[in-house]
Amino acid sequence: MEKACVDINELINVFSNTQGSVYQSDKLNCFYVDFGGKFARYNCISLQKLKKVIEDIDIEALLLNTNRADFELVTFNGCEHIYLLSALEIVAFKDLLQGTFTMFKLNHMVNDCLNRLVY
């Protein structure tokens, strides 16, 4: 998906690092991941799966294995996107997704407090 197809002003920036950003669309109840030159749309389940797939990559093994290139092809069932990532990009992607989910937790805590005050 092209970034130009989405009105970036309608999106909320959940978390960014030097390599990319994750946005949330409250209107469409989905997320957009801007990473590695790709702007991809995800729902809750697929974003969780993406995080798990990225976290499960053993970077040390990837770097120590001399029989293969230091690149990893990342995709999973039900995901229409494919990433070809170097070890450094995997580290950055991991950081981006961990930061994103930490922000989700923080947002949940804030929402929880507000709900308790209002209801």
Task: Return the residue of 1, 8, 12, 84 that touches other proteins, per CB under 8 A.
Answer: 12
The verdict on 32 binding other proteins (CB under 8 A) reads: no
- The closest alpha carbon to 16, from 97, 110, 82, belongs to 97
For residue 44, give Cα distances in angstroms to 13, 32, 73, 85, 89. 16, 11, 22, 22, 22
Stretch that binds other proteins, among 63-71, 73-81, 87-95, 103-111 (CB under 8 A): 103-111
With tokens 């993406």, the residue in question is 50
The verdict on 40 binding other proteins (CB under 8 A) reads: no
DSSP strands (E only) in 43-108: 71-74, 83-86
The verdict on 104 binding other proteins (CB under 8 A) reads: yes
Q: Which two tokens stand for residue 117?
A: 């005050």
Instruction: Specify which residues 15 forms β-bridges with.
Output: 22
The verdict on 45 binding other proteins (CB under 8 A) reads: yes
The verdict on 8 binding other proteins (CB under 8 A) reads: no
Binding residues vs other proteins (CB under 8 A): 12, 14, 24, 26, 29-31, 44-45, 48, 101, 104, 107-108, 111
